[in-house]
Amino acid sequence: MITGATSGIGAAFASHLIRSTDLLLAGRDAEKLEITRNELIRRGRKVETFAADLTDESAVNELVDRADAFGIDLLINNAGIGQFGRLIDHERDTERDTAMLNVVAVVVLTRGLLPGIIERAGKANERGGVVIVSSTAAFAPVPFFATYAASKAFSLYFTEALAEELRGDPVDILALCPGATKTGFSARAGLDRISVPGAADPGAVAREALDALGNKTVQVTGLLSQATLGPFLVPRRLVTGALAAAVRYFNARQS
């Protein structure tokens, strides 16, 4: 089951996985989900959809029931949003929705679906999996992207801790931390004026994640993957100051 399967990295996961498995696709936009489903069912697999806004907790609980009934063995927590700019300039609901989708939905889906995933994998003598899509933004506090970066730090720490807890169980856990990737995310986040050179192809990002699942706990993708340790080696105040200056510089250049 893939959340946010209608576009970007989620759609890329679906394109890779349809070669080997049936799929349950979740997204907000029913029409887009149907289009994605129609493209994928040509491959001869069962594809079901679940259209709902996952900032709504009751929809997340419904999705847990639906995915358990489907009998999923791999959960890809991919749907995510963020809004660029100063927190105090945003609507309260914008920040709330970011936390609900990027944090609460991830925890509820993972907690709700892991028991079934582990049980089915154990019975079949195979391995289940959970992928949580975090971000390279998880590695430092990011001014002007405060809630988003903090939500991704949450998902990274959550995944790493969970992987250790479940080391003896037949399930593989992976945090995917993409760097800039060519999807609709930046435009939705209000970042369309800032173009990051060398942004990755979503198909390649999804492929790297699927190859990493079962071999490691954290997969960082993209040009800046080597720089993610940097924020841990210097004082925090320097990191946030440098990031804020970089954002102001790019903003000024592109406006």
Ligand X SMILES: NC(=O)c1ccc[n+]([C@@H]2O[C@H](COP(=O)([O-])OP(=O)(O)OC[C@H]3O[C@@H](n4cnc5c(N)ncnc54)[C@H](OP(=O)(O)O)[C@@H]3O)[C@@H](O)[C@H]2O)c1
| Residue showing tokens 């080391």 | 167
| Member of 79, 113, 121, 213 binding ligand X (CB under 6 A) | 79
> Can you tell me the distance from the alpha carbon of 180 to that of 173, in angstroms, rounded to the nearest whole number?
22
Radius of gyration of the chain (CA): 18
Instruction: Return all residues near 113 (Cβ < 8 A) that are at least 6 apart.
Output: 1, 64, 67, 68, 72, 75, 130
Nearer to ligand X, 137 or 162 (CB): 137
Q: Are 38 and 59 in contact (CB under 8 A)?
A: no
The residue range among 68-76, 79-87, 111-119, 123-131 that interacts with ligand X, by the rule CB under 6 A, is 79-87
In the range 196-255, which residues lie near ligand X by CB under 6 A?
none
> Can you tell me the distance from the alpha carbon of 200 to that of 136, in angstroms, rounded to the nearest whole number?
13
Helix residue ranges, H only, the chain: 8-17, 30-41, 57-70, 92-99, 105-124, 146-165, 185-189, 202-212, 230-233, 236-254
Q: Are 178 and 133 in contact (CB under 8 A)?
A: yes
| Member of 4, 116, 170, 231 binding ligand X (CB under 6 A) | 4
Whole-number minimum distance, CB 69 to ligand X, in Å?
19
Give yes or no for residue 53 binding ligand X (CB under 6 A): yes
One symbol per residue from 115 to 154: x for binding ligand X (CB under 6 A), - otherwise; what is it?
Answer: ------------------x-x-------------------
**Other C-beta atoms within 10 Å of 252: how many?**
8
| Member of 23, 63, 67, 101 binding ligand X (CB under 6 A) | 101
One symbol per residue from 28 to 47: x for binding ligand X (CB under 6 A), - otherwise; what is it?
Answer: xx--x---------------
| Member of 117, 178, 210, 239 binding ligand X (CB under 6 A) | 178
Give yes or no for residue 8 binding ligand X (CB under 6 A): yes
**Closest to 175 in 3D by CA, of 228, 216, 124, 128:** 216
The residue range among 60-68, 76-84, 123-131, 234-242 that interacts with ligand X, by the rule CB under 6 A, is 76-84
The residue range among 60-68, 139-147, 184-192, 227-235 that interacts with ligand X, by the rule CB under 6 A, is 184-192
| Member of 15, 110, 159, 183 binding ligand X (CB under 6 A) | 183
Report residue 164 as tokens.
């250790």
Footprint of ligand X on this chain (CB under 6 A)? 4, 6-10, 27-29, 32, 53-55, 78-81, 101, 133, 135, 178, 180-181, 183-185, 188
